[in-house]
């Protein structure tokens, strides 16, 4: 399994669009992909066709209310989604004092996605600055505007 966090220091640069397109394209060519909407705006779910409001998601997983498998929504063949959930925007206040959000996410995910080829995390703007990015995590930076890459180049980056 390869975990890819799509990040940038600001919003509106195409992180969600990039995540949506990469997830869809990789699923289309046969890879098992899970997308996690870690942006409280919840636009990744909408981009993948889930328009139901106020459904729980990664927020409930991080608060230990449900397991991540309970929150997975099958979007299409080879593509699953864990939506943001309505409480994600308040998660830092809801977590116990001093718990870094990134470590809570890592613990919450555990090894649930070991059968997946890719797990993409669509992050909110400023994630790299606020939480830092671990070297072990594969990163796709959207530097400016929309990230337009050819899929074969992306697959080579991820060593598929």
Q: What is the distance between the alpha carbons of residues 39 and 123, in angstroms, rounded to a whole number? A: 5
Residue 87 corresponds to which tokens in the numbers above?
């409480």
Mean pLDDT of all residues in 50-60? 85
Pairing of strands 118-122, 73-76: unpaired
Instruction: Please tell me the distance from the alpha carbon of residue 129 to that of residue 140, in angstroms, as a whole number.
Output: 15
Closest residue by Cα to residue 71 from 85, 50, 57 = 57
pTM over 0.95: no
Q: How many alpha carbons lie under 13 Å from residue 154 in its C-beta half-sphere?
A: 21
Confidence of residue 2 (pLDDT cuts 50, 70, 90): confident
**How far is the C-alpha of 69 from the C-alpha of 1, rounded, in Å?**
16
What pLDDT sits at residue 9? 63
> Quick one: what percent of the chain has pLDDT higher than 90?
37
Helix (H, G, I), strand (E, B) or coil at 16: helix
In this structure, are strands 2-7 and 118-122 parallel, antiparallel, or unpaired?
parallel
Decide: 56 and 157 in contact? Cβ < 8 Å. Answer: no
């Amino acid at each position: 399994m390869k975990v890819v966090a799509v990040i940038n220091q600001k919003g509106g640069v195409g992180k969600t669009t990039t995540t949506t397109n990469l997830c869809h394209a990789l699923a289309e060519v046969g890879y098992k992909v899970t997308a996690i909407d870690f942006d409280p705006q919840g636009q990744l779910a909408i981009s993948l066709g889930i328009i139901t409001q106020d459904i729980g998601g990664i927020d409930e997983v991080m608060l230990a209310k449900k397991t991540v498998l309970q929150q997975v929504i099958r979007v299409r063949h080879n593509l699953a989604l864990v939506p943001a959930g309505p409480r994600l925007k308040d998660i830092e206040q809801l977590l116990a004092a001093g718990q870094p959000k990134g470590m809570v996410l890592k613990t919450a995910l555990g090894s649930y996605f070991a059968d997946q080829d890719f797990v993409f995390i669509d992050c909110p703007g400023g994630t790299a600055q606020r939480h830092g990015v671990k070297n072990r995590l594969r990163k796709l930076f959207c530097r400016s505007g929309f990230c337009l890459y050819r899929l074969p180049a992306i697959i080579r980056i991820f060593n598929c």
